[in-house]
């Protein structure tokens, strides 16, 4: 790992800049910096095309109504992605391409300071922390970037992203205390040095907005000054920005996604963010106490295994609506419209430039509601399902010479491809779609699929389509008062997820059929498509004139001209089957916790004799501070050893401790287990749990007795990061021994995997989790032995290797499933999972042994006939089993396609 000290803006220069404060910028209203250009109204027109590092200067501005890019008004439809939660840089491209395909035109990125900075003044932007690579990849995928570097980011990350060492340097985070600002300034300076190379305003990349969660004026002034000093000239988006207020949080299902995001559209917002577009994994010691498991946001639109979820359809539809129907970027609130049934709330929007109208209907009741709504001069009967929402439109231009009067289904896109106009509408399976087009002259419709029916009456074409599960219906409309052909496409949610509009330099295209379209390029008379299929799928392509041939993933596809004026593949694209996964056997086992033995040498351990602390937890009166952070141990497990002099008559030991979620304490006296303990209750509400373990002594202590204590200290709270972790005090009954404490935690940060990968277990400090470690003298055990194991207090390690042989044209997601053995209600059972040395998180045992599947990211997981090392560290106490439980690999889905994956460096150990 390359660690360096950044060049910092001098304190005097920074203070001088801070003294100028706002530099003419208003806190409310426009947050554009002067170099970004001025804001102002913009007429409705085609939105800007996909962004890239085009080398041209661009103007970006915000006002209270909209984002303006080069004088045009795009809707920003962002999805949040935390690169650090996908520790395989190759897969960043996979998820970013999926986000763009599903309709997003921007990605919101949070950066965790603690992952980049293992010590004051040391910063690492290499490997899985390569911000420069991520920003380049986002630009190559045609996505704007909203950058959120903190310093505090929340996001259920340890200490909200603040580095552990910040607990010991004084100064309160988020304040204007110079002791804090000096370090925050360094961090932002290092981030900005990378971001400045990727600014959209300079044509060097796609960083469009800079995000801050600060609400205090002083914080914002200093942040603006820092940005100016570092050459960051894009607008600053913050909580007081009108366009940024009330950003929606995670949603549970598709219906809630519609309610939340349609509601924002109904309020006239042109900036929206899906949190999370991809959740990923809170691996290692990354998660805050508020994160219940290593899986971050199981409700994300794209799940941890990079698969689409049932929440994706409405987001896909809305994203493409905003991107391909420019009327919606100019919508403002219009005169109130009411449904006849008051349970349906209606928001009415209108575009003064085009005369288009939109109606957002929301039903918060527990029953489906059928009501009448005035639309397009007609009272239209509509049904809104329980706790759901719908979006309707009137007056939309559907190409040349045709306009939508009204529809009972949602528009998804309207686009022109060559001489063909295409309009797609979407609804739920089981509904009847009714579309009405204004046609002064009678047109000539043609049914291309069986379901459609139509009638022409008094200047309007009425089209009816029963929506069926995963079915798409096409109607071709010719004639009337235009020589252009209109293709109407009506689809249910499932079928809409296989409609892929794409912009090329030579014009727009539309692809139907595969599970994903990643990229499209026109090459002479050939359109070259790349993407993914899961099942066998049809391929239909609408492309500009002159395109006669189709290639899919580098292979020519036999095709012909279809009735819908499209290129149709003669044969279906192939699907893919799940890979064959090996059984996990060849296990070896070894116990540790040598630190509990009286003869263990602790001469190199840190003496715990401090009398003061930088933390907010008061130190014990007259006794040394034992808080782990004060001795430089910020992540993972910590060991304490205390030599007791004058312990004759000692009867009882009382140990108070403080942890994050799922904390645990184990104690030994002269190598004899005293017991284990875990804190109970709901904690203090700020991410801290405290407990006091009281142990009676089984025997009279010997002279110079040794008390050994292992504390699983876990995470810092997001909003109380300086609260103590580890032991807080120790008391003795029956004697008053003299006590000399030593402490040991994680060794030096892993130079590749980073500071949050390792804790202080003996096996971690000596490389038992790493590939290449010689475990040949460990005890061989069968897979059956993993489901139980003799109950013992302490730490037991299990290791094995396995190989996968996934074909190179297949993108397969693989998980590791742990079915824990019920631990008899003690809760004292933890399994830390390491794959090729990468700490993927902890399985926490409970009364039922509820299973958990750890997603194994490709890149860390070697899938192409290479060896993988799996190591499990089991902490057990209080009668809990010492085995991890049933352990197996399971397929989590796959696709024919994917992106090339580079192995993530996973250095091992060779000296045993």
| 460 neighbors 435 (Cβ within 8 angstroms) | no
pLDDT for position 294: 92
Is 10's pLDDT higher than 80?
Answer: no
Signed CA dihedral, 288, 291, 292, 293: sign only: negative
pLDDT for position 14: 33
Q: How far apart are CA 197 and CA 486, in angstroms?
A: 44
Give tens-digit pLDDT for 146-203.
999 999 999 999 999 999 999 998 888 888 889 899 999 999 999 999 999 999 999 9
Q: How far apart are CA 308 and CA 382, in angstroms?
A: 29
Is 243's pLDDT higher than 70?
Answer: no
Sequence-distant (6+) residues with CB within 8 A of 177 are 170, 171
pLDDT for position 825: 52
Residue ranges with strand state E in 480-605: 485-492, 499-504, 507-512, 516-523, 526-532, 540-542, 549-552, 555-557, 559-561, 567-569, 587-591
| 744 neighbors 760 (Cβ within 8 angstroms) | yes
| 607 neighbors 597 (Cβ within 8 angstroms) | no
Is 360's pLDDT higher than 80?
Answer: yes
**Percent helix, strand and coil across the chain, each rounded to 5?**
15, 35, 50
Is 738's pLDDT higher than 50?
Answer: yes
Mutual angle of helices 131-140 and 178-195, in 10-degree steps:
40
pLDDT for position 40: 43
Is 548's pLDDT higher than 60?
Answer: yes
Q: What confidence category does residue 849 fall into, taking pLDDT thresholds of 50, 70 and 90?
A: low
Q: What confidence category does residue 846 fall into, taking pLDDT thresholds of 50, 70 and 90?
A: low
**HEC assignment per residue over 705-735:** EEEEEEEECCCCCCCCCCCCCEEEEEEEECC
Q: How far apart are CA 275 and CA 154, in angstroms?
A: 13
Give tens-digit pLDDT for 87-100.
999 999 999 999 99
Q: How far apart are CA 641 and CA 700, in angstroms?
A: 18
Task: Locate all alpha helices (DSSP H) within 23-177, ordered by sequence.
Answer: 89-101, 113-116, 131-140
pLDDT for position 247: 60
Backbone phi, then psi, for 453, in 5-degree steps? Answer: -140, 155
Percent of the chain with pLDDT over 90: 77
- Of the candidates 643, 639, 616, 644, the residue with the CA atom closest to the CA atom of residue 628: 639
Is 23's pLDDT higher than 50?
Answer: no
The 10 Å Cβ neighbour count of residue 808 is: 10
Give tens-digit pLDDT for 530-540.
999 999 999 99
Q: How far apart are CA 523 and CA 506, in angstroms?
A: 10
Q: What confidence category does residue 597 fall into, taking pLDDT thresholds of 50, 70 and 90?
A: very high
The 10 Å Cβ neighbour count of residue 64 is: 11
Q: What confidence category does residue 39 fall into, taking pLDDT thresholds of 50, 70 and 90?
A: very low
Q: How far apart are CA 875 and CA 177, in angstroms?
A: 41
For residue 723, the Cα-to-chain-centroid distance in whole angstroms is 27
pLDDT for position 346: 97
Q: DSSP label at 122?
A: B
Is 822's pLDDT higher than 60?
Answer: no
Q: What confidence category does residue 823 fall into, taking pLDDT thresholds of 50, 70 and 90?
A: low
Both structure tokens of 64: 């209270």
Q: What confidence category does residue 66 fall into, taking pLDDT thresholds of 50, 70 and 90?
A: confident
Is 580's pLDDT higher than 60?
Answer: yes
Is 21's pLDDT higher than 50?
Answer: no
Q: What confidence category does residue 42 fall into, taking pLDDT thresholds of 50, 70 and 90?
A: low
Return mean pLDDT, the chain: 90
Q: What confidence category does residue 34 fall into, taking pLDDT thresholds of 50, 70 and 90?
A: very low
| 186 neighbors 20 (Cβ within 8 angstroms) | no
* Beta strand pairing call for 271-274 and 76-80: parallel
């Amino acid at each position: 790992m390359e660690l360096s000290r950044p060049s910092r803006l001098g304190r005097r220069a920074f203070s001088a800049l801070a003294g100028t404060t706002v530099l003419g910028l208003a806190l409310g209203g426009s947050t554009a910096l002067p170099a970004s250009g001025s804001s102002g109204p913009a007429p409705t027109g085609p939105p800007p095309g996909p962004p890239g590092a085009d080398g041209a200067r661009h103007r970006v501005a915000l006002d209270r109504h909209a984002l303006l890019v080069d004088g045009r008004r795009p809707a920003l439809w962002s999805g949040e992605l935390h690169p650090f939660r996908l520790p395989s840089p190759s897969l960043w491209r996979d998820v970013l391409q999926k986000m763009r395909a599903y309709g997003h035109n921007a990605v919101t990125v949070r950066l965790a300071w603690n992952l980049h900075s293992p010590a004051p003044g040391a910063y690492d932007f290499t490997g899985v922390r390569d911000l420069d690579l991520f920003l380049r990849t986002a630009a190559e995928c045609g996505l704007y970037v909203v950058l959120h570097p903190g310093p505090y980011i929340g996001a259920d990350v340890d200490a909200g992203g603040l580095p552990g060492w910040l607990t010991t340097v004084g100064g309160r985070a988020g304040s204007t205390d110079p002791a804090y600002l000096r370090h925050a300034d360094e961090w932002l300076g290092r981030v900005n040095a990378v971001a400045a190379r990727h600014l959209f305003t300079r044509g060097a990349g796609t960083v469009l907005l800079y995000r801050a969660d600060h609400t205090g004026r002083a914080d914002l002034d200093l942040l603006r000054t820092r940005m100016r000093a570092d050459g960051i000239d894009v607008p600053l988006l913050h909580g007081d920005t009108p366009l940024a207020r009330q950003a929606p949080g995670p949603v549970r299902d598709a219906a809630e996604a519609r309610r939340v995001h349609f509601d924002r559209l109904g309020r006239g917002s042109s900036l929206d963010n899906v949190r999370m577009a991809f959740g990923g994994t809170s691996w290692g010691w990354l998660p805050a106490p508020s994160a219940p498991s290593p899986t971050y946001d199981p409700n994300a639109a794209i799940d941890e295994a990079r698969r689409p979820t049932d929440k994706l359809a409405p987001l896909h539809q809305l994203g493409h609506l905003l991107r391909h129907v420019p009327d919606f970027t100019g919508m403002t609130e219009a005169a109130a419209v009411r449904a006849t049934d008051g349970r349906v709330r209606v928001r009415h929007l209108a575009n003064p430039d085009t005369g288009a109208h939109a109606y957002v209907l929301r039903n918060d009741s527990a029953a489906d509601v059928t009501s009448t709504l005035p639309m397009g001069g007609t009272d239209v009967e509509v049904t809104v399902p329980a706790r759901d929402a719908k979006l309707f439109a009137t007056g939309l231009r559907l190409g040349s010479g045709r306009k939508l009067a009204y529809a009972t289904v949602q528009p998804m896109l309207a686009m022109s491809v060559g001489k063909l106009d295409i309009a797609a509408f979407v609804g739920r399976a089981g509904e009847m779609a009714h579309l009405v087009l204004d046609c002064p002259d009678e047109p000539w419709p043609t049914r291309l699929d069986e379901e459609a029916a139509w009638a022409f009456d008094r200047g309007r074409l009425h089209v009816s389509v029963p929506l069926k599960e995963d079915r798409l219906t096409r109607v071709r409309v010719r004639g009337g008062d235009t020589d252009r052909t209109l293709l109407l496409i009506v689809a249910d949610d499932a079928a809409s997820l296989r409609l892929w509009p794409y912009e090329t330099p030579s014009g727009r295209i539309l692809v139907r059929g595969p599970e994903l379209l990643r990229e499209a390029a026109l090459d002479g008379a050939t359109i070259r498509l790349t993407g993914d299929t899961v099942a066998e799928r049809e391929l239909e392509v609408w492309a500009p004139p002159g395109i006669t041939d189709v290639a899919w993933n580098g292979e020519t596809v036999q095709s012909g001209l279809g009735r819908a004026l499209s290129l149709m593949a003669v044969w279906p694209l192939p699907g893919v089957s799940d890979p064959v996964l090996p059984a996990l056997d060849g296990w070896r086992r070894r116990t540790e916790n040598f630190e509990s033995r009286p003869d263990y040498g602790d001469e190199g351990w840190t003496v715990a004799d401090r009398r003061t602390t930088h933390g907010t937890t008061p130190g014990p009166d007259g006794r040394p501070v034992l808080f782990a952070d004060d001795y430089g141990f910020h992540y993972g497990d910590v060991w304490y050893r205390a030599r007791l002099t004058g312990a004759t008559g000692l009867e009882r030991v009382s140990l108070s401790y403080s942890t994050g979620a799922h904390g645990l304490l184990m104690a030994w006296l002269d190598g004899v287990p005293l017991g284990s303990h875990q804190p109970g209750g709901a904690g203090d509400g700020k991410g801290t749990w405290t407990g006091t373990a009281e142990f009676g002594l089984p025997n009279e202590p010997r002279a110079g007795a040794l008390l050994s204590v292992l504390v699983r200290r876990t995470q810092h709270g997001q909003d109380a990061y300086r609260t103590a972790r580890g032991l807080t005090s120790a008391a003795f009954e029956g004697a008053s021994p003299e006590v000399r404490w030593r402490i040991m935690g994680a060794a030096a940060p892993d130079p590749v995997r980073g500071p949050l990968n390792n804790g202080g277990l003996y096996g971690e400090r000596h490389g038992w989790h790493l590939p290449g470690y010689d475990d040949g003298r460990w005890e061989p055990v069968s897979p059956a032995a993993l489901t139980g194991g003799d109950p013992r207090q302490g730490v037991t390690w299990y290791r094995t290797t396995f190989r996968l042989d996934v074909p190179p044209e297949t993108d397969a997601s693989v998980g590791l499933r742990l079915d824990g053995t019920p631990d008899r209600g003690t809760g004292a059972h933890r399994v830390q999972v390491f794959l090729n040395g990468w700490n993927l998180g902890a399985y926490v045992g409970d009364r039922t042994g509820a299973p958990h599947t750890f997603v194994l990211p490709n890149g860390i997981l070697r899938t192409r006939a290479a060896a993988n090392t799996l190591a499990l560290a089991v902490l057990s106490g209080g009668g809990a089993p010492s085995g991890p439980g049933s352990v197996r690999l399971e397929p989590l889905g796959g696709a024919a396609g994917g992106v090339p994956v580079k192995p993530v460096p996973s250095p091992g150990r060779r000296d045993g």
